[in-house]
Chains A and B, each alone.
Chain A
Amino acid sequence: MIASVWGMARNDLAVWLRSPAAIAAALLPALGMGILVAVLTNSVGQQPVALVTQSKGRLGARMGKILEADAEAYLIEEMTASEAERAIGDQRVAAIIVVPENFDEAVAGRKAVVDLYLNNVDIDLADDIRRSVARSIAEFDAPQLGLLGELHGPSEGILLPNPYRVAVAEHNMRATNVSFLQYQVIPIVVLVIVSIGLLGTALLTARDFERGTAKLMILSPAGRLPLVVGRSLGGSLITIALVAPLVGLGFVTHYIPYCADTSGAPRWVTILFSAPCAWTLSVPFWSHAVALIALLAAVTLTTVGMGILLGIAVRDEKLVTMIGLNAAVYLFFLGGGFTTVAFLPEWIQTASRFVPTSYAIEGLRQALFYPDLVGFGTDLAVLSACAVLSLALASGMLARAWRKG
């Protein structure tokens, strides 16, 4: 039996290696998503803004400094009024902030105004700028409403009175923030596994039916279980071979030139070199590392099992490709790709409970970003159950399909 299993797995590996189109079919969409995340990383958070400081007074200069200091919110550039007008027309900036000439006098009369000229092309972008400008304005009269004040003011027992009569004592749950890219790379890794495991194995199975080699298999003395197990092993091995370097690289990107955020290289160079494996995370504690490996293995087996099922059910390479790609898109998004499922409407959350990748993504995020492994047992149990069920079903369907010729 072991010889049959290994023979089948080895054969599948050889077919994979001779099929660059199949490898491309499995990898390209996932890599596309990776690049997309990298580009998204560049576009979230900071918005290009022109600052026009017309005031020559001390308070006007202070207002300008507060705005300029919020580098986390804006990519700010000082301009004259006419330059700023040209820039907003050419879409080089999304907004113009004007500290008017009479700012100091107006502050003395408690009627000062900072003008915001906003390209409100969509609400997401416009709201980002509105929030940021409002924070800077609040900071003028209430310095503790700035980011530093939120983090190290009342939460550390230092409370300064302010005219708005409310301060923020912010307590962050973790010592380090996870970047948007790090957070989103996890679903990308799961997408790579889905693409290779599901699509790749489905293509191999469909190919056996299209070329008639399935009939030869049934005539062999190996039996159906070793063939299904062998195909699973082959699919799993090729998935592991392609995913392991990606995951491994993710942990060493700190040390690869031009990959880390802190490398000093231009942003686009960092994105180009690091996507889609820019985890730049520290190696986790051993219990979290074990959880990580277990989850990756379970999701690999699940997708391979699903791939065999799909291949047996459809038996046409073109259709398998289209169904596999569609399935990968749903498994990715409903599993939590680009989104946090818990923040979506109730009915989507319910639908997501039936999507195995949601357990994989949730479990992997717990293993990498959270101090406790909350829900890890459930995640692993669901994924393992899905793997066993899909392989058992595949074995049954394969026997039935071959019996019918």
Chain B
Amino acid sequence: MIWTRAFFASATLELAHLKSNRAFVALTALAAVSFLVMVRLFGLTGSRAPMALINDDRGTYSQGLIDALLAAHHSFALKNMSEEDAAKALGAGRLVGIIKIPAGFSKNVERGKTIPIDVQIDNVNVDLTNDVQRALPAAILAFGHRYNFPGARVQVAEHDVLSHDTNYIPYLVVSALALDAMVIAGILGALATAREFERKTIKLLRLSPASTGAVLAGKLIVAAAVAGTALAITVLAIVLIYGVVPVAPWMALLTLGGCVAIFTCFGAWLGVQLQRTLAAVPLLFGLVMPLYVDSGALEPTRFDGEWIWRIAHLSPIYYAVGVLEWAYHGIRVTPEPVYVDLLALAAMALVSVALTLGRLRKRGAQ
């Protein structure tokens, strides 16, 4: 049988299968969007701890201190509250803390006195507590320098490696694209191969004179195309909702296409290994989050320590995030050059295809 005929027949059949499983495909795409939304939620709590502000002083200096607190590296979301409301909100876990500027603050500062401000902290979460404990002296330092108080002898001179800061949510949503690609393409790839075992058609496949490679290619090209379409919706959402546009659009497109190809192949391999969609889907869900976090999704992986960074090299998401962050924001999150990340992605795709083909032939022979 001609290779191309087998390829097209297999692709047509796969498309028909996916059409009859529209709800499943739609839910897979929904899962990808869900991850994007959830990653955003996580990003929202990364900064600006909600703190009550009780200001019993109406002078210039208290306003200066409030300005310094607001400018302290995105640390506080200050809420003016009465003492009673603040205590209630703190007790109910709705605030990280309360800052109280005492009456006479401005007058005393004017006279050169040092005034303690009372800060109550709900230290239930050590991460948020640390942020507040570090941000308060940073704000006080800025306050002192703003008014040129005598006696302050040292300042920080910051030299940033990059010309601008990348906000946390735009950073996170770009890395989430790699996660989405893995979820959608992986599940559809797994569905394409596991179905042959679930319906016992693997034996027919093996007995037919058609090339296994052509049949597999036909199935996977359709799975990848559907996954690519679903991913395009997520990409559009990122552009329209978050306003994140790639600085290198062609590279972004190429990488996302590459991710879809790799993860479809990876999913297909998983489907052949497990032979059941019901086993492959949760495994992919279970794998995807740890792989995502250990891939430079939240910050460059090497900052998390050498062993975590070394393990990350086993994950395709590490390389995908490396290229995507470069393509979208022009930043490097892997020490390896971008072309090395691209080559690693291509190599992983080839290995996945080879493994799936080998496994299909071997299993089919049984």
Residues of A close to B292: CB separation below 8 A: 36
Residues of A close to B153: CB separation below 8 A: 107, 110-112, 140-141, 163
Say if the beta carbon of B197 comes within 8 Å of chain A.
no
Output the nearest chain B residue to A368 by Cβ-Cβ distance: B124
Residues of A close to B46: CB separation below 8 A: 124
- Contact between chains at B116 and A169 (CB < 8 Å): yes
Say if the beta carbon of B351 comes within 8 Å of chain A.
no
- Shortest distance between the CB of B299 and any CB in chain A (Å): 5
Given contacts A126-B165, A318-B277, contact A344 B31 (CB under 8 A): no
Output the nearest chain B residue to A131 by Cβ-Cβ distance: B134
- Contact between chains at B154 and A115 (CB < 8 Å): no
Say if the beta carbon of B150 comes within 8 Å of chain A.
yes
- Shortest distance between the CB of B334 and any CB in chain A (Å): 7
- Contact between chains at A163 and B282 (CB < 8 Å): no
Say if the beta carbon of A102 comes within 8 Å of chain B.
no
Find residues 311-347 in chain B having any chain A CB closer than 8 Å to their own CB: 331-335
Residues of B close to A6: CB separation below 8 A: none
Find B333's partner among A28, A89, A121, A141 (CB 8 Å cutoff).
A121
- Contact between chains at A123 and B114 (CB < 8 Å): no
- Contact between chains at B166 and A134 (CB < 8 Å): no
Find A343's partner among B49, B136, B155 (CB 8 Å cutoff).
B49
Output the nearest chain B residue to A157 by Cβ-Cβ distance: B116
Given contacts A32-B288, A120-B162, A344-B41, contact A150 B278 (CB under 8 A): no
Most buried by A among B120, B134, B151, B168: B134
A173 vs B87: C-alpha distance when bound (angstroms): 11
Output the nearest chain B residue to A177 by Cβ-Cβ distance: B126
- Contact between chains at A166 and B140 (CB < 8 Å): yes
Instruction: Convert A131-161 into 0s and 1s, putting 1 for each residue whose CB lies closer than 8 angstroms to a CB of B.
Output: 1111101111110011100100111000111
Given contacts A63-B154, A169-B118, A326-B31, contact A91 B300 (CB under 8 A): yes
Say if the beta carbon of A350 comes within 8 Å of chain B.
no
- Shortest distance between the CB of A373 and any CB in chain B (Å): 12
- Shortest distance between the CB of B160 and any CB in chain A (Å): 5
A340 vs B31: C-alpha distance when bound (angstroms): 22
Say if the beta carbon of A258 comes within 8 Å of chain B.
no
- Shortest distance between the CB of A118 and any CB in chain B (Å): 5
Say if the beta carbon of B24 comes within 8 Å of chain A.
yes
Instruction: Convert A354-373 into 0s and 1s, putting 1 for each residue whose CB lies closer than 8 angstroms to a CB of B.
Output: 00000000100110011010
Find residues 53-70 in chain B having any chain A CB closer than 8 Å to their own CB: 65
Instruction: Convert A387-401 into 0s and 1s, putting 1 for each residue whose CB lies closer than 8 angstroms to a CB of B.
Output: 000000000000000
Output the nearest chain B residue to A31 by Cβ-Cβ distance: B286
Residues of A close to B131: CB separation below 8 A: 128, 131
Residues of B close to A134: CB separation below 8 A: 73, 134, 137-138, 141-142, 156
A188 vs B281: C-alpha distance when bound (angstroms): 20
- Contact between chains at A165 and B115 (CB < 8 Å): yes
A179 vs B129: C-alpha distance when bound (angstroms): 10
- Shortest distance between the CB of A205 and any CB in chain B (Å): 15
A105 vs B49: C-alpha distance when bound (angstroms): 39
- Contact between chains at B144 and A121 (CB < 8 Å): no
A375 vs B89: C-alpha distance when bound (angstroms): 12
Residues of A close to B166: CB separation below 8 A: 120-123
Residues of A close to B154: CB separation below 8 A: 63, 107, 112-114, 137, 140-141
Residues of A close to B96: CB separation below 8 A: 343
- Contact between chains at A329 and B123 (CB < 8 Å): no
Residues of A close to B112: CB separation below 8 A: 165
A131 vs B289: C-alpha distance when bound (angstroms): 29
Given contacts A130-B158, A138-B137, contact A174 B130 (CB under 8 A): no
- Shortest distance between the CB of B34 and any CB in chain A (Å): 5
- Contact between chains at B74 and A123 (CB < 8 Å): yes
- Contact between chains at B307 and A268 (CB < 8 Å): yes
A115 vs B159: C-alpha distance when bound (angstroms): 7
A170 vs B119: C-alpha distance when bound (angstroms): 5
Say if the beta carbon of B2 comes within 8 Å of chain A.
no
Say if the beta carbon of B255 comes within 8 Å of chain A.
no
Say if the beta carbon of B242 comes within 8 Å of chain A.
no
Say if the beta carbon of B208 comes within 8 Å of chain A.
no
Find residues 263-304 in chain B having any chain A CB closer than 8 Å to their own CB: 276-279, 281-283, 285-290, 292-294, 298-300, 302-304
Most buried by B among A27, A30, A121, A132: A121
Say if the beta carbon of A92 comes within 8 Å of chain B.
yes
- Shortest distance between the CB of B32 and any CB in chain A (Å): 10
A197 vs B95: C-alpha distance when bound (angstroms): 32
A146 vs B118: C-alpha distance when bound (angstroms): 16
Residues of A close to B38: CB separation below 8 A: 329-330, 333, 338
A160 vs B117: C-alpha distance when bound (angstroms): 13
Find A318's partner among B133, B144, B278 (CB 8 Å cutoff).
B278
- Contact between chains at B73 and A44 (CB < 8 Å): no
7 A-B residue pairings within 8 Å (CB atoms)? A47-B303, A133-B156, A164-B141, A165-B144, A170-B121, A173-B120, A343-B44
Chain B interface residues (CB < 8 Å from chain A): 21, 23-24, 27-28, 30-31, 34-35, 37-38, 41-42, 44-47, 49-50, 65, 72-75, 90-96, 108-109, 112-127, 129-131, 133-138, 140-144, 149-162, 164-168, 171, 276-279, 281-283, 285-290, 292-294, 298-300, 302-305, 307-308, 331-335
Closest 8 CB pairs of A and B: A163-B151, A28-B286, A164-B144, A134-B138, A154-B116, A32-B286, A322-B27, A131-B134
